[in-house]
Structure 1
Amino acid sequence: MLRILVTNDDGINAQGIRVLAEALLAIPDAEIHVVAPQEEKSGVGHGITYREALAPKEHEFYGLPVKAWAVNGNPADCVKAAYFLLYGEEKPDIVFSGINVGNNLGRDIYYSGTCSAAREAVILGVPAVALSYDNFFHGEDYGQAKEIVSPILAELAEKARLRSLPADVFWNVNVPHLPLADIKGVRPASLSLHHYADVYHHQEGGYWLQREYPDQVITDTDEDYWLMKQGYVTVTPVHIDATDRTLLADIASWPSIKGLGKGENGE
């Protein structure tokens, strides 16, 4: 039995998590639990709840044959609640988070509740996948997203069954809002960290954060934003260890570091 945990940041009543659960039900010998926020928690990042109690409540889930709970917390809380409170000794084998309304590309992974749920799973030692669909301006339209992602879900689930997924990595998958026939393929991709600029516009009530994107699409890159805009599904392995190890030796040579803690005789 493959134990699959499904979560998201758009809330347990969102269409994307239903699409994801339906796709996962096609995986043989899989037991699926859905644990998701009781309301939308987009953009909350990796926030966790510790100043109030979590209270998971059983929730009907579109009539699908899964067990589901709604949690009064953030996506990371949902993973923690499932891991520590709802599962017994047998923990989930893999976590799937999504399918998010809108993409999560580049530095979005730091703001995204979808990606943070996957990151929290990896912190707890469980392989995880974050899935996002480029339908931000068509939030209820998931087109053929289920058919597009199903082969990827099946492959990752099988790797989880075989215990062959690496530790400390979650998989960030982004899908263009295109028909299956127009998808060019699946490409491994690096994070596109500088593909938009933050801008604040003064409107009613104050200043509203928006983004400005480049008009031209770069075609000679392996970065996720540009590949998705060309019609590719992108898959990015995201390591949770953000240490820049190439700079550790340099830090050790800083005068402030070398001299700190030494006595008057330099000993």
Structure 2
Amino acid sequence: MPTGVHLHAARRRPTVLLALAVPLLLATSVSLAGCTSEEPPTEPPEPAGGSPTPARADGARDDLAALAAAAQDRHLTARYTLTAEDGSTRTIIVTSANDGSWRVDVPGWALGGTVDVALVSTAEGFFQCALPSATRPGPAGCVRLGDPDDTIPRRLDPRVQHPFTDWLDVLTDRQAPLAVSVSRPLPGATGTCYSVESTSASLNPPLDVGIYCYDTDGTPTAVRTALGTLRLAGPPGPAPATVQLAGPVTEGEPVEAAAPTPGESGTEPTTTP
């Protein structure tokens, strides 16, 4: 064969090899692509910063509900200092008995701040008792306001008893329209504090918004609402078996918060049955 023929054949050989290699590479790529498409997609990375805000809010709500439930089972005798917005203070005595009865003593609340009262709830009913004091030297007398679970009229309501009684039911109710978050501790309060806001536009919210603080055993250690700030004044004492009324039950009228107008003697429970 002439030399020119060999040279021409040699020049065609790379072109033929390339033509054969291209289909092979394409087939291999298709095969690899098919294998890759069967693998599960990679999960997107979690956002930095931990759980989203709703999870943290739900956690605070659950924690507060658990502490409020413990407070319902916490029977004690305790003294609290109530500091009003004007800086005035008074000592509130809270008694939660082992049988479920309770009593809250509120000095200087009725008749324009001249009469001390106690609210008492027992199996026999819900009572208001007018207590002896420097401005009221007479004996104590009590008036029945209704059944143990009845709502107290606003004009007769000191409101300081609610954080230890019916507001605990609201705090344990996951359906109540509340927004809860962990709060900076109130000065002098132990345990954990929670900011509680109402998410309802109702004119009569289920409780007063504010800050509620509880120790790990459910003891309320501080509460700040529009009424003022309640702080536990010392270690709680043991609970009695039941609470006692401050005096005999009478047929008189309960005392109100407002002072009587000039010419009126005011309304006080008498001591005669």
Normalised by the length of structure 2, the TM-score is: 0.22
Q: Which has the larger radius of gyration?
A: 2
Q: Which has the higher helix share?
A: 1
Normalised by the length of structure 1, the TM-score is: 0.23
